[in-house]
Amino acid sequence: MLTRCILFVLALSPLSIALLKLAPPSREGYVGSAACERCHPDAYREWSESLHTQMMRPVDDPGVVTADFGLDDPDLRFDPDTAVWAIGGKWEQQFMGHDGETETLLPGVWLGALDAWDFKGWDGWEAPVPLRRCHGCHTVGLDPATGLWTERNIGCESCHGAGGWHSATLGIARIHSSLDAAVCGQCHVRGRSPSGEYYFPAGYRPGDVLEDYIVESKASPGQNNSAWWGNGFERSRHQEYSAWAQGGHALSLERLRTDYDDRYGPLTNDCLKCHSGDYVLSTSRKPTLASAQFGITCAVCHRSHGELSELRVQCDDCHVEGAFYHQPEKNAEHVACGASSGTGCVGCHMPIVAKIGGAFQLHSHRPGVVAPIDSERYSMPNSCQNGACHADESLAWALRSFEHHYAAR
């Protein structure tokens, strides 16, 4: 209560104005996530229970190591005693050690889905140096020049930026808080820094223009590469941002403003309930057509502090009658399997196309159907046979069935 009273007085006093006029002590004023708990206990609790806190942990902590370190394993190519840090653990797990001078990525990836080790070039990496590869996303406040960082894992300041000035002014100085997908994209992207030295956007801070700090990997139209399928869908992990940017969710607000032709009636603020992320999530004053900033970004669907895979909103919150929100009469012919099949929107429009942990387990973040013909062309999973759907049928069957349903439509 005393803290709240102080904040209230400061907010109304000349002192608050003076504080805000002062320049922050430094752009790198990181304080660590523990400093956030006092004022944001609920967000801190949710974050502390999320996978973001399990991205870089000491191997000595109980329950951290999920890999099989059996010393009689003939495939194991490093001494487990040299492992210091464990990276991940749910899908796959890698390990860092120390060679006496610097940290080094140890030669092996534990594939959780296969219960096996993979030693094929550390996931294709050419130079497994954590400072160039891992630390940009698995630590907070990294200084690439020195290799020093403030906090391990993905902490509060990974998404909100350095919080030192915010903390020193008892919350009066604002910290970065935005639905901008680039905040997630700083880690959920593949590419290199413009210098080519780092495999992450070195120097990026929330609020910056991400594209100034990363040269994203690109698909090769009509041809598979290590990261992308030939039809433009992601093939590997850590590409959710690039895939999302290709889809209608990313462009939902822009297209509403520039391409809408009044075919469904006049353009009003009510349209924002499905086209603007800041409108959807606003709990107080709703933005307008003029002031809305974002389309449907990552934080609209994902709970950003905890339970990351638990959806904030459901597909049918916007697509009320199905895919054809404005033309519900078309939905019966659009859905091939029908509601009785139990197949939801994600199964068809975000099919499992990317590998992690040695198996296809990640849904695409580029909304769209992958037709069976793409499996024939690119040897990739398709919407009809991903997951448990029609997995027991042949590709020839899927080709015939898909063509039969959609050929006349």
Compute the radius of gyration of the chain from its Cα atoms: 24
The pLDDT confidence band at residue 34, using thresholds 50, 70 and 90, is very high
Which one has a higher pLDDT value, 335 or 155? 155
d(CA 185, CA 339): 34
The pLDDT confidence band at residue 80, using thresholds 50, 70 and 90, is confident
| Domain carrying residue 84 | 57-67+74-133
What is the pTM assigned to this prediction? Answer: 0.87
Q: Is 393 part of a structural domain of the chain?
A: no
Q: Is 360 part of a structural domain of the chain?
A: no
Instruction: Please tell me whether residue 192 adopts helix, strand or coil conformation.
Output: strand
Q: In this structure, are residues 138 and 55 in contact, taking their beta carbons and an 8 Å threshold? A: yes
Q: Give the 3-state secondary structure of 41-101.
A: HHHHHHHHCCHHHHCCEECCCCCCCCCCCCCCCCCCCCCHHHEEEEEECCCEEEEEEECCC
Q: Is 122 part of a structural domain of the chain?
A: yes
Q: Is 80 part of a structural domain of the chain?
A: yes
Would you say residue 9 has pLDDT above 80?
A: no
Q: Is 90 part of a structural domain of the chain?
A: yes
Closest-CA residue to 89 (of 109, 114, 64): 64
The string of pLDDT tens digits covering residues 320-359 is 766 667 777 777 667 777 667 777 788 889 999 999 999 9
Q: Is 351 part of a structural domain of the chain?
A: no
Q: Is 106 part of a structural domain of the chain?
A: yes
Which one-letter DSSP state was computed for residue 287? P
Between helices 2-12 and 14-21, what is the axis angle to 10°?
80
Q: Is 300 part of a structural domain of the chain?
A: no
Q: What is the mean pLDDT of residues 63-80?
A: 81
Q: In this structure, are residues 96 and 83 in contact, taking their beta carbons and an 8 Å threshold? A: yes
The pLDDT score that the predictor gives to residue 408 is 55
Q: How many domains does the chain have?
A: 1
